[in-house]
Structure 1
């Protein structure tokens, strides 16, 4: 019984730590300005040299 209480306490403590850590990276719902957009610019062109890896897939792709 004592081990079960200790185990439950440790799991609860880890859960609380994970929630508090996630807070610091994403301060509110839908991002810092609450609009679901991230600040920054996307590339307008895509160079083949920027591709990290490539593989052929059988059939037609869906994305």
Structure 2
């Protein structure tokens, strides 16, 4: 992985990062290059969900 993180395979063949409860087997080490197919799938996963702080509703005391 270019960013130094390890990726794991899930039971259904997906990719998840370290610590994910669905991780089954190590797919890519920190210095391994991704296959083009996995790189595309990972890019789709990241684009599909917003960042955690963007998904939160504003606090009620912020006057919005």
- Higher strand proportion (structure 1 or 2): 2
- Higher helix proportion (structure 1 or 2): 1
Using CA pairs below 8 Å that are at least 6 residues apart, which structure has the higher relative contact order? 2
Per the normalisation by structure 1, the TM-score is 0.30
Per the normalisation by structure 2, the TM-score is 0.29
